[in-house]
Amino acid sequence: MRVRRVRVVLLGVLLVTVGCGKRAWARFEPVTCKNSFTEDQEIAEGNKVARQIYGQMPVLPENDPVTRYVQALGAKLVAQAPVLPGVQRQWPFNFHVVASDEINAFALPGGSIFVNLGTIQAAETEAQLAGVMAHETSHVVMRHSTCNMGKQRNKSILYGLGAIGSAILLGDSAAGSLAQAGIGYGQNLDFLHMSRGDEQQADLEGVNILDRAGYDPRGLPQFFETIRAKYGAGGAQFLSDHPNPGNRTEYVNAEIATLPRMDHPVVTTPAFTAMHATAMTRKPLTAKEVKAGAWKQSGLYAAQPGGNGVVMASTPAVSPVGPAGGSAAGSPQTIAPLSRAQLGVSERMAAVQAPRYTVQAPASWKRTDDADGTVTLAPVGGAGGFGVAYGLVSGIAKQDGNGVTDAASLATATAALVQGFVRQGSGLSQAGTATAMQVSGRPAQAVVLRGSSPVVDGGAQLPERDWLVTVTRPDGDVSYLVFVSPERDFGTLKPVFDAMLGSFRPQ
């Protein structure tokens, strides 16, 4: 366990004079600015904004491994975010990833934070990415967005649609990105830009949150330097309306100098390395592609807050690991194998009524419903924050035009679903060719996918087999069932999977 020195709280003005006429930096003390919004109003308005963002920007689904990593990292930072005087409770923070190539991030009123895929790809360490997110978290904590709204009393908070909480690399580009995506009603977004004072406050509290979370607080200024080195002074547009990197790095480093020395601060983790490798396989969209909107039909992005994509990734979520080696978000990255009894192999089957279909599953298996209609059925302990290790993930893939009407069109739809798995960076790959079959008297196809299971035995992560079955529907859409298991346990579960598939009835 790391040893930390007792922090000494420095009170007084921001700069104090000490011997020989030199100036010493005093510890930053965050405060909320005054505004007329209640906490409930702030949260409610931010939620309205979030729903519109999902309709007009490509947000990665909740079940995406990159999203789950960012959420776990965010939870670790939020645990160290202060609840300031005048605020009754911690803000209901939630974190999301936008598949945009811009190096950017933004925060909505009440705690919704969006990090662009371009930012994640640009970060070189977990501390750097955490620094961006800690900065965003600080804007929410100090209520900068609604304070800005107070300066525009005659305008609805929806007038700006969320960019008012813009953060570290946002500035003018936040308003521009949202406007290009059709958000903002085409009105002037000047009032969305954070003042230099707001940005400085978010930087200073950001490094304090990083420090309390056990990260090397130098990750924040290092990110500034990384972006400048990679993209030049104009890269990511983060110089616009912000202090230049030299000044910014100077005052952030001055704040860091007030912090007690930390033994072995976290710079990066294996979880970040794995997630970053996954993120680098993704092709983020340009502003032009976002505005064109073709991504809305791909099924790869969430349609609403909390939603999954058409295809559910069954690979484990990677979570940041803290200095003590445990999971930062309170849920493990991996699990131990389940026994035959735990899998419920010999149990009676019970009917499950899902949206537009029925299926049977072992009576002890637990059901989880996602907002998009996806249903997960898994033995106790077989699914959780790590993903799905054992069980069935089922749902419906909507089809355009006349839909799927025969075996040929089903083969095309099945291939698209498989490609969706691969494009999501889930670590899965197709093993062999699709085979035709019949399910409930309807044309169906089966494909085997292989990847890495969240199940670890003897210190080794087990390989996983996913059995994807697609079935035509009377309405032209496609039902899909993904049976998930470590490779070595698939034979044990195959009779259960066969019984479940035999019981499947589209409605």
Q: Is residue 98 part of a domain?
A: yes
Question: Mean pLDDT: which of 71-75, 288-292, 313-317 is highest?
Answer: 71-75
Q: Quick one: pLDDT at residue 170?
A: 35
Mean of pLDDT over the chain: 77
269 and 401 both lie in a single domain? no
Residue 254 corresponds to which amino acid?
A
- Per the model's pLDDT, the better-predicted residue between 197 and 346 turns out to be 346
Q: Please indicate, yes or no, if residue 217 is contained in any of the structural domains.
A: yes
Threshold 0.75, pTM exceeds: no
pLDDT, tens digit, for every residue of 133-181?
Answer: 999 999 899 988 777 665 554 344 333 333 323 333 333 344 444 444 4
Q: What percent of the chain has pLDDT over 90?
A: 34
Coil, strand, or helix at residue 19? coil
* Residue 404 covered by a domain: yes
- Dist CA 97 CA 409 (whole Å): 32
The predicted pLDDT at position 197 comes to 79
363-379 pLDDT, tens digit each: 999 988 776 678 889 99
Mark whether 244 and 379 lie in a shared domain: no
Long-range contact list for 226-230, CB < 8 A, 24+ apart?
Answer: 226/122, 226/123, 226/124, 226/128, 227/103, 227/122, 227/169, 230/122
Q: What's the CA gap between 321 and 330, in Å, rounded?
A: 10
326-362 pLDDT, tens digit per residue, is 333 333 456 789 998 899 998 899 999 988 889 999 9
Res 1: pLDDT: 32
**Predicted confidence band at 99 (pLDDT cuts at 50, 70, 90)?**
very high
Rounded to an integer, the average pLDDT of 205-216 is 95
Rg of the chain, C-alpha, whole Å: 24
Judgement on whether residues 244 and 172 belong to the same structural domain of the protein: yes
Greater pLDDT, 386 or 186: 386
pLDDT(295) > 80: yes
pLDDT(274) > 70? yes
**Looking at the chain, how many residues does it have?**
507
- Judged against a pLDDT cut of 80, whether residue 259 lies above it is answered with yes
Please indicate, yes or no, whether residues 266 and 415 belong to a single structural domain of this protein. Answer: no
> Are residue 350 and residue 473 in the same domain, yes or no?
yes
101 shares its domain with 223: yes
| Residue whose token pair is 């072992």 | 362
What is the dihedral sign for C-alpha 219, 224, 225, 228? positive
Strand pairing category for 94-98 and 112-116: parallel
| Beta carbons of 318 and 333 less than 8 angstroms apart | yes
Among 291, 314, 329, the domain boundary falls at: 291
For position 474, which CATH number holds?
3.40.1000.10
- Domain tally, the chain: 2
Domain hosting 501: range is 340-506
**Distance of CA 262 to CAs 5, 7, 455, Å?**
7, 11, 34
Q: Are residues 253 and 352 in the same domain?
A: no
Token digits of residue 290: 């976002």
